[in-house]
């Protein structure tokens, strides 16, 4: 049951996710989280590096949709300047937002990867929706109140995986 929380892959940050590698695997779309995945949760807009990453994906024909549990104002302000589709108040780990994003990108499940920094929302939701999941290290160690609670549970699950030898990375 806990395997639902196990990501398919783990990277340090989004920049390790390369369009050439995705293309080789037949991936045509990314569903990514926003807070602490693309930028720190308290940073309003994309950094030049993030803008460049989005451009590289676009140049390689890879669609990107941002799905976030955060409010409309936050998600819209961040996503619109990037010209990228978004879903706000996504209620991850529920599957609905992932399905909406997949449908909007007009892609099949095996053509999509999910990127996020939280096991309890991004990874659980992506796995439940039948998608390939990539966990990133949270950009900053601080979080909004609601996330702080999730992190405690997350640490327990991580320790379990580590004990079982299912993950090898360090915090």
Nearer to Mg ion, 35 or 111 (CB): 35
Nearer to Mg ion, 79 or 111 (CB): 79
CA 124, chain centre distance (Å) = 11
Nearer to Mg ion, 111 or 147 (CB): 147
Per DSSP bridges, beta strands 86-87 and 9-11 are unpaired
| CB of 98 vs Mg ion, minimal distance in Å | 15
Nearer to Mg ion, 27 or 115 (CB): 115
Using CA atoms, how far residue 55 sits from 18, 46, 107, in Å, is 12, 12, 20
Give exposure, 107-124, as e/b (b: 16+ Cβ within 10 Å).
beeebbbbbbbbbbbbbb
| CB of 35 vs Mg ion, minimal distance in Å | 4
The angle formed by the CA atoms of residues 25, 31 and 34, to the nearest 5 degrees, is 135
Interface residue list for Mg ion (CB under 5 A)? 33, 35-37, 117
| CB of 23 vs Mg ion, minimal distance in Å | 26
| CB of 67 vs Mg ion, minimal distance in Å | 10
């Amino acid at each position: 049951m806990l395997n639902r929380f196990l990501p398919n892959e783990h990277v340090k940050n989004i920049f390790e996710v390369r369009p050439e590698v995705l293309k080789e695997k037949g991936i045509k779309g990314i569903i990514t989280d926003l807070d602490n995945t693309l930028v720190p949760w308290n940073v309003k807009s994309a950094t030049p590096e993030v803008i460049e990453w989005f451009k590289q994906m676009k140049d390689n024909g890879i669609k990107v949709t941002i799905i976030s549990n955060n409010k409309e104002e936050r998600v819209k302000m961040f996503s619109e300047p990037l010209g990228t589709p978004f879903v706000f108040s996504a209620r991850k780990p529920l599957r609905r937002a992932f399905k909406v994003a997949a449908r909007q990108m007009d892609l099949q499940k095996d053509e999509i990867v999910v990127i996020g920094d939280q096991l309890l929302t991004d990874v659980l939701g992506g796995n439940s929706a039948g998608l390939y999941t990539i966990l990133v290290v949270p950009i900053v160690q601080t979080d909004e109140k609601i996330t702080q609670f999730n992190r405690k549970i997350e640490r327990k699950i991580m320790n379990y995986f580590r004990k079982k030898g299912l993950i090898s990375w360090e915090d």
